[in-house]
Structure 1
């Protein structure tokens, strides 16, 4: 907690069920309070919004691995990534790290380094960093030790992926970009191809192994999600295992199946900003318009959640309150974070201040502490 006590006055404030209205946000000891605390900061002309909760992002990869061998102290890379998160209004960030046969920055060894560094960095930074493991389902040799690894790394959120090119492998053909992928993993291309074929050959063992693993993780209280669902049957199988988050469903069918059963649907904010998926999957804008999306994630681009919310409001798909909820209140519900996501008394003082002319972030506060301040607004706080 912090002893910082401020009354932010004069701004247009985004309140639950009220939308934007001129008002005051009072902060004391890291939370929002319902009575003035005594030191006023005039934010007339600005917008005060709930802090952004990023449900899934791997943009930090370029900070911890800018080029091979360049980053020797991984904690410094994560601290640099936190600065970028704060500059984009993100107050809670899920950092998604692969545990994959792909190797390199997606391999198990690199995951060990990232998770160890994250555990060291989290108490040192202002942004709330939540580790997520993206686990490749065909890594059967890793199943037995995975629950203990998650406990060791303090990971309470796992998402299951399957990025094997099964159609090509079933036909005995090499997948595209095999050589480049192998070199990134520091493997001989032929050795890499044999690895992919051996993993594909184990496909029949994966469903029952997943049943057992998910049952263990559910008992441990781990939040679980599936990635790139394509069919209603996919979602039904995951749901039966206790996997209640559908991350980036590729089709309308999968998204409808998830929401119809009460599961959460996460879409990528870059999908909104681009006007559609970069690889022809379901349009996030269409799913949002149909009420099939609970929250937007940065995916690979940290500015996108803020930009997507503003674009959805400006285009008339949603009003600003509903659009912003997709990057704040909605994600809080998905993650079960009852202490944030709205500007309401008793909740964490997580907020972002926007310039109304261009909607750029000028200040970010997480838990009552500033993680970012820039431009003329600084004078208002230090005067």
Structure 2
């Protein structure tokens, strides 16, 4: 049931800046004037709910150990609770559809899609799906497209994780044995599969052109992943990819800005101060104005922490940093009903203690998704 209350006394981030005006909630929306009883949030910040454009932290809930794939729907519920505890009210669950197999294979992907579809209406957080398709998985393009249609997936991103240089040189890729075990294949079988896919590289451009054209006609948001060169990014822009996820170089990010793409960077990269893969630091791209959205990537607590970190580094104020967590990703995904605290929009908001920087309340579409600490006492007062 959605709340009918008015939040008063807090410092509220609005599209026009900080305000101390009351925030009314009714029927899952933000409303003008008072609505219902008042909840005193003096001393707290009220911020738009975080729209996470790319995260795979849900995997640990759905498959905590290799082969432990049962009770997946309960795992989705647990993931939604973790998202809410970190202020995320809209979450894009980024799921691989890859030759890599195991938790990245098509079978597991469809398992995830089915589990999320089964429980998404029972949790307050808006759970949405992203299909991460490997560019060389040619024989499964039709299966991936069928999954997009069946599960109503509206966001597809393209990856290429084949170690092409090593394969071209006839050398074994690093960590082959470990990757093979995760896929359920022998190292020899796994290597043979990679070699076969690599040898079909010449077929890939035409197949991608055809698939992206069909997806574009279905109004699917398309994205490229790990762009490393301007040429690489231009190829994807020509296919209608309006999102550039985690560009690896300044030049690639600049090319994405030039072609009008939305640029997504990793919040964990901001928090730790560097890319774990040795690519350009996200904070450096932010400093160049080359970031529209910050994603949780593999760590749901990071978006909130990254916003405060950017303020600490002097790269932008908190309001500008927060736009990369809310209005920026909402615009990127075409979700015009959220991302800012404006009358008529979804009541997606969080209450943060500015001293501890912890989320004490998360409200998604007017429903309580997370409530703890002193704020819980204030909400529960009669």
TM-score range, shorter chain: over 0.9
Q: Distance in 2 between matches of 1:3 and 1:54?
A: 22
Paired residues, number: 381
Task: Kindly indicate whether the alpha-carbon contact (under 8 Å) linking 1:266 and 1:293 is maintained by their aligned counterparts in 2.
Answer: yes
Superposed CA deviations along residues 93-132 of structure 1, whole A, max 9, x for unmatched, are 0000111111100011101111011111111110000100
Shift of 1:358: 1.3
Cα deviations across residues 140-194 of structure 1 (Å, max 9, x unaligned)?
Answer: 0012333222111221111000000001000000000000100111101101100
In the alignment, which residue of structure 2 is the partner of 1:204? Answer: 202
Look up the match of 2:30.
Answer: 32
Q: CA deviation at 1:38?
A: 3.4
Number of the residue aligned with 2:101: 103
Partner of 1:189: 187
Q: Structure 2 matches for 1:1-383, cutoff 5 A?
A: 2-18=1-17, 20-383=18-381
Q: Is the 8 A contact 2:156 2:220 kept in 1?
A: yes
Aligned residue for 1:27, secondary structure, equals strand
Secondary structure of 1:145's aligned partner? helix
For the Cα contact (< 8 Å) 2:2–2:365, is it kept in 1?
A: no
SS in 1 for 2:20: strand
User: Considering only aligned residues, what root-mean-square deviation do their CA atoms show, in Å?
Assistant: 0.9
**What SS is found at the alignment partner of 1:158?**
strand
TM-score by length of 2: 0.98
Q: Shift of the alpha carbon at 1:4?
A: 2.1
Runs of 4+ in 1 over 3 A off after TM superposition: none
**C-alpha distance in 2, partners of 1:102/1:146?**
15
Post-superposition offset of 1:21: 2.7
Contact (CA 8 Å) 1:313, 1:320: kept in 2 or not? yes
Deviation at 1:261, TM superposition (A): 1.5
- For structure 2, the residue ranges without an aligned partner over 5 or more in a row are none
Write the distance in 2 (CA, Å) between the matches of 1:195 and 1:145: 18
61-70 or 169-178: bigger deviation = 61-70
For 1:304 and 1:365, the matched residues in 2 are separated by 19
Q: How high is the TM-score relative to the length of structure 1? A: 0.98
Q: Is the 8 A contact 2:269 2:282 kept in 1?
A: yes
Counterpart secondary structure, 2:373: coil
Deviation for aligned residue 1:34: 1.4
C-alpha spacing 1:314/1:33, structure 2 compared with 1 (3 Å): same
Find the residue that maps to 1:370 and give its secondary structure.
strand
Question: Is the 1:71–1:77 contact (alpha carbons within 8 Å) kept by the matching residues of 2?
Answer: no
Structure-2 separation of matches of 1:70 and 1:375: 34
Structure 1 position 3, deviation (Å): 4.8
Alpha-carbon shift at residue 42 of structure 1 (Å): 0.4
